[in-house]
Amino acid sequence: MLVNTPKVSIGWQASAFTLPNPDGETFALDQLYGDNGLLVAFICNHCPYVVAVANRFAEDARVLQSEGINVVAINSNDFTSYPADSPAKMKLFASQYNFSFPYLVDEDQSVARAYDAVCTPDFFGFDRNGALQYRGRLDNARMDGDADRTPELLNAMRQIAKTGTGPSGQLASMGCSIKWR
């Protein structure tokens, strides 16, 4: 089911979490912040919207990381009902798209609920103090990519790093609904 992200209050504080990657190594929110902020992305392996943006997302993430903005991806889908989103498949997906950031398992879906994540992909951009400054889409490109792409998320995170605030105009991300238990 196609879903758009809801509007949220800018300035909302990131909810703490500790989640494992598919190998069992745990990551806590307070350890993930970069000097200039943090991007939290709710994604999964099987969603065609995620697959369509995965290369662009991975490329933009590398740029952000080089600029002191850390990135983490979280898979909150019910992988017992959707085996394509299993931790083993997450490892393959992260490798296929050369993720340079942790890809974490939210098995009990508590983090997705705390963040009010609704779809994959769902992007949350936080400033260095953990305040939400961006919730929007990756870019304006169509599903098949677009050579004339505007990297909205990348630009927003750079603005947040520089000024502490995100852009006033933010367009909602859209994708498949999170697969709840």
Residues 6+ apart with CB under 8 A from 31: none
Q: What is the pLDDT of residues 107-132, one digit of tens each?
A: 999 999 999 999 999 999 999 999 99
Strand partners, 134: 125
Task: List the structure tokens of 133.
Answer: 């400054």
User: Which of 13-17, 74-78, 104-108, 166-170 bottoms out in mean pLDDT, i.e. has the lowest?
Assistant: 166-170
Strand partners, 124: 40, 135
Predicted confidence at residue 169, as pLDDT, reads: 86
Predicted confidence at residue 7, as pLDDT, reads: 64
Residues 6+ apart with CB under 8 A from 136: 5, 123, 152, 153, 156, 170, 171, 172, 173
pTM of the model: 0.95
Predicted confidence at residue 112, as pLDDT, reads: 97
CA distance 85 to 79: 5
The domains found in the chain, sorted by start residue, are: 2-177 (3.40.30.10)
Task: List the structure tokens of 118.
Answer: 């609704």
Q: What is the pLDDT of residues 57-85, one digit of tens each?
A: 999 999 999 999 999 999 999 999 999 99
Q: Which residue has the tokens 């989103």?
A: 85
Average pLDDT over residues 136-160: 89
State which amino acid sits at residue 122. Answer: D
Residues 6+ apart with CB under 8 A from 91: 22, 23
Percent of the chain's residues with pLDDT above 70: 94
Predicted confidence at residue 145, as pLDDT, reads: 67
